[in-house]
Amino acid sequence: MASSTENPVKVDLTTCSICFETFKTPKYFPCLHSFCEGCIKTYITTTFLQTKGGVNCPVCRMYVLKPEDISIDDWSSKLPTNHILVSLIDTNELKSGEKLCAACSRENESESATSWCINCGEALCKSCERYHRRNKFLSNHKVVDIENYGTTELPYNHKDIQCTEHPDKNVEAYCSDHSAICCMTCVMLKHRKCDNVGSIQDAAEELKKSKEVKSFKDALMELKKTLDALVECTMDNLQIFDKDIKKMKLDVDTLFTKLSHHLSQLKSDILSEISKIEKEVRPEIEDKHDEIKCKISTIENDLTLFQTNIKYAPPAQFLQAMEKLMEQRSILEQFVNEESQKLKEISVTFDANEKLQEIEKHIKVFGKVNIRRRNKADMLRSTDKQVNMSSVVPTTKQVDMSSVVPTLSSEVNEQDTVTGISVLENGLVLLSKWNNLNIELRDHQCSSVLSSLSLPGYPWGIKMTSDTEGAVAVEGHGLIIFNVQNNQITKIKEIRTNVNYDFVYHQGTYYIGCNKKIAVYDSNHHKVRDISVNNIVGYMAVRDDTSLCYTVWGGRELYCITMDGTPVFTYSHDKLQYTTGVTVDHAGYIYVCGCDSYNVHQLSHDGKLQRIIFDNLPSGPYCVSFNKHGDKAMIGCYNKVLSYDMK
């Protein structure tokens, strides 16, 4: 583990990454990257139409959805202000030059400030400071000398932070049970039964003294060390990739040259043969042509002699001439008869090689470019990067899901329908129990109940959205957000929707399946937009960073769409009936349950059937979940939970 002082990371927190100047009203995205309000407004305006419904963070490229009830022009102003940066900038300004008294400036007077009121966020001269302290309503304000301002900690005040539930109220309290800062209205309405509600100051002090905070920097440094190694891996990968691309292009050119040379030689050979035939056959046709023309000339001459003799020749000469002409006619008749019988039309044709003739039909591509992806842990090992990957990359070898053979390891009978299942990072299992109207946290074997949470309606899809937080879709109510800690399930809040059977959570955004739409909510549980679909959405799963899959209630298909609703593919099969649960494993394979066909289909990333991986199940499957390594699968059924070893 790296020490807390090793390789300190220095980042200029006061400079906007868009304009590269000191922040002017710093606003931040959910990824915590901050920008000037004016800069991010310009960025949003110029990029929003291209990104359909949101924008990518200019720094980390995280996709941020626009809230539904806010216009593009107002979005930047509605982003949360980074008050800690405001305090940091004020501190730097106070230390870098003379600061004028704010109270005097309002009266058009110029007095040098000597102190700073943390609560008011204003600089004060000696005279105004004295009156400030004497004022009964301001006497509890913390006033510090400008020289000492920010030497121990930033004089940050939460007076300007509004409650997310009640925007007209400032936050004043912290609920440890729900890990939430809130206003006093929230304390009275939502946290009155909570055992650990106190001041923000006390909560912050307690958190600063906790083991988690003390080890936080070391954990981040370890993560950075790992990411540095991954950056080196990607740089090495880029060099290898560029080398491979160069070699592939050379191979293509070489193959093309080889084929071109071979085809050119074949072309030359056939053209030579054509020229040879032309030289042999053409004179034969020409000679016959000339011979026939000569006979025509003979006939024309005989006709002239005949007409002359019949008109002018004496009888004796006429008889002699006619005898010769008759003889000549016989010779010509014989020639015509013979030539009419034996004259042949000579033509030539080209019969292309059958394989060449079918080349366009059978050879559609010049070749295939294969992309081989290796696990990032294998990349690090192959490059001899000495990094502790225990907290970042799983040490357990992940299963090759293309050839794995499932083996039934246990079958737990339930007196209920299991409509949702999720295998947690630690191996524990969450179940949605339909008839019982509750969710349960089970042990690794799914045989013992560790904790349960009663619900206001029928539960369906259930998933974890972080290490400790999850959600369950409740029919007719919406999404119930809950916390899982110390083997206990605690309800946090509820997102109300009309009809809801499942949801997915991806990059800080909830996609909730409803009636003929998918409702999109941000990480603060605020409605952003709707994605229109044709039916009631059943179960859902994230396919990749740009698309998701879903089934429809009572249907026989699996649909895949982009995050903005554009269709990608639709899958159906004769042996897939009444599609229910859907999930995606670590390798990108898609799994869809057929409740009435008693099976689970394994699909490729592009929606092609690989195989029916679970078939002839003892009960109709509603949901399927894999552990993080892919070596264990659990299927929730009508009255059973089936566990499989994937080897």
Question: SS3 letters for 581-634?
Answer: EEEECCCCCEEEEECCCCEEEEECCCCCEEEEEECCCCCCEEEEEECCCCCEEE
Asked if residue 391 has pLDDT above 80, the reply is no
pLDDT at residue 95, rounded to an integer: 67
Which of 160-164, 335-339, 525-529 comes out lowest in average pLDDT?
160-164
Determine the Cα–Cα distance for residues 635 and 367; give it in Å rounded to an integer.
Answer: 41
Q: Pick 141 or 624 by higher pLDDT.
A: 624
3-state secondary structure of 14: coil
Report the first-to-last Cα separation within the chain, whole angstroms: 34
Q: Please list, in sequence order, all residues whose beta carbon lies within 8 angstroms of the beta carbon of residue 506, skipping any fewer than 6 positions away.
A: 542, 545, 548
How many Å apart are CA 406 and CA 394, to the nearest integer?
21
Between 66 and 397, residue with greater pLDDT: 66
Cα 49 versus chain centre, distance: 19
- Spatial distance between the Cα atoms of 472 and 464, rounded to a whole number of angstroms: 9
Lowest mean pLDDT among 16-25, 570-579, 636-645: 16-25
Among residues 260, 212, 634, the alpha carbon closest in space to that of 422 is found at 634
Q: How far is CA 520 from CA 65, 493, 495, 510, 602, in A?
A: 9, 17, 11, 6, 28
Compare 115 and 49 and report the one with higher pLDDT: 115
What are the tens digits of pLDDT across the range 466-523? 888 999 999 988 899 999 988 999 999 888 887 689 999 998 899 999 999 999 998 8
**pLDDT computed for residue 39 by the predictor:** 94
pLDDT tens sequence across 117-173: 877 778 899 999 999 988 888 888 888 888 766 555 555 555 567 787 888 888 889
Residue 610 has pLDDT above 90, yes or no: yes
Q: What single string gives the DSSP state of each residue in 140-167?
A: TS-EEEGGGTTSSS-----TTPBPSS-T
DSSP 272: H
Q: Is the pLDDT of residue 598 over 50?
A: yes
Gyration radius (Cα) of the chain, Å: 43
Structure-model confidence comparison of residues 190 and 7, the more confident one: 190
CB 559 within 8 A of CB 538: no
Question: Which residues lie across from 118 on neighbouring strands?
Answer: none
Q: What is the pLDDT of residues 79-89, one digit of tens each?
A: 988 888 887 77
Give DSSP secondary structure letters for 246-258: HHHHHHHHHHHHH
Query: In whole angstroms, what is the distance from residue 429 CA to residue 449 CA?
Result: 10
Apex CA 375: angle with CA 394 and CA 581, to 5°? 75
> Mean pLDDT, to the nearest integer, of 47-70?
81
Structure confidence by residue, pLDDT tens digits, 364-389: 777 777 777 665 555 554 444 444 43
| Tens of pLDDT, residues 265-278 | 999 999 999 999 99
pLDDT tops 90 at residue 604: yes
Say if residues 442 and 431 touch (Cβ distance below 8 Å). yes
- Residue in the block written with tokens 């994937």: 646
* Cβ contact 49:56 at 8 Å: no
pLDDT at 393 over 50: no
pLDDT over threshold 90, residue 4? no
Q: What is the pLDDT of residue 625?
A: 97
CA distance 368 to 151: 63
Give how far Cα 467 sits from Cα of 55, 179, 428, 559, Å. Answer: 26, 14, 12, 29
- Does the reported pTM lie above 0.85? no
pLDDT of residue 462: 97
The secondary structure of 35-48, three-state, reads EEHHHHHHHHHHHH
